[in-house]
């Protein structure tokens, strides 16, 4: 059985989770360590979970997942599994546990299907019950001077997010990426 344990930076396996985050995501796809640690310890909307497998010897840590509690939905920011257990079905098991643990609307970002790996990743999430939202989505940069990434959102727990898409996007921008939406909206008018 998989377990999600909410951790803070004082947890003995926080360094495992932080190292896995570094290994799984390039610097442009994650915030800097100080900001990540601050959110982990101080932001009530941000949850850093260590994923363990109760069936493995000594409750082996197998991955991490970060989840934001936002208005009417949860946003999965990062999901990574340890290289030692990849290709053993854990990704699917983690997604199944996620949907069971957190009923309701769940949103995540995916790369656009521009190569085999990104196409396979979208198909994986679809097999796990997520639907691709084809509306344009631009992930804001995590760092000053960083680049925005053209992505798509995927969702589970609802038939569609089309009508709520602008509100969902704006809340992710504000809460997760610290984008000033009022300035952004005035730039677009």
- Asked whether 84 and 31 are in contact (CB, 8 A), the reply is no
Answer yes or no: is 13 within a domain.
Answer: yes
Angstrom distance (rounded) from CA 168 to CA 157: 14
Answer yes or no: is 189 within a domain.
Answer: no
Angstrom distance (rounded) from CA 103 to CA 156: 9
Cβ neighbourhood burial of 94 (10 Å; 0-12, 13-18, 19+): buried
Instruction: Report the pLDDT value the prediction gives residue 189, as an integer from 0 to 100.
Output: 42
For the stretch 88-105, pLDDT in tens is 889 999 999 999 999 999
Instruction: Report the pLDDT value the prediction gives residue 88, as an integer from 0 to 100.
Output: 87
Average pLDDT per 10 consecutive residues for the chain, totaling 189 residues:
95 96 94 97 98 76 96 96 89 94 96 94 97 95 91 97 96 95 57
Angstrom distance (rounded) from CA 4 to CA 54: 11
What total number of domains does the chain contain?
Answer: 1
Range of the domain at 47: 2-184
Instruction: Report the pLDDT value the prediction gives residue 60, as an integer from 0 to 100.
Output: 83
Q: What is the domain-level CATH number for residue 118? A: 3.40.630.30
Angstrom distance (rounded) from CA 79 to CA 58: 22
Instruction: Report the pLDDT value the prediction gives residue 186, as an integer from 0 to 100.
Output: 46
Answer yes or no: is 176 within a domain.
Answer: yes
Instruction: Report the pLDDT value the prediction gives residue 37, as an integer from 0 to 100.
Output: 98
- Left if phi > 0, otherwise alpha if psi is -120 to 50, otherwise beta: which for 74? beta
């Amino acid at each position: 059985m998989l377990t999600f344990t909410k951790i803070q930076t004082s947890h003995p396996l926080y360094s495992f989770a932080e190292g896995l985050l570094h290994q799984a995501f390039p610097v442009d796809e994650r915030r800097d360590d100080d900001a990540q640690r601050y959110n982990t310890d101080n932001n009530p909307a941000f949850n850093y979970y260590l994923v363990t497998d109760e069936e493995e010897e000594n409750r082996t840590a197998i991955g991490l997942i970060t989840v934001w509690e936002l208005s009417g939905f949860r946003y999965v920011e990062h999901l990574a599994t340890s290289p030692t257990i990849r290709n053993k079905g854990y990704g699917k098991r983690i997604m199944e546990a996620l949907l069971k643990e957190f009923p309701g609307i769940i949103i995540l970002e995916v790369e656009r299907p521009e190569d085999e790996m990104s196409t396979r990743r979208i198909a994986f999430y679809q097999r796990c019950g997520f639907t691709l939202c084809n509306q344009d989505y631009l992930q804001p940069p995590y760092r000053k001077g960083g680049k925005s990434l053209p992505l798509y959102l995927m969702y589970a727990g609802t038939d569609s997010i089309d009508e709520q898409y602008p509100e969902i996007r704006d809340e992710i921008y504000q809460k997760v990426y610290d984008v000033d939406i009022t300035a952004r909206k005035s730039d677009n008018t």
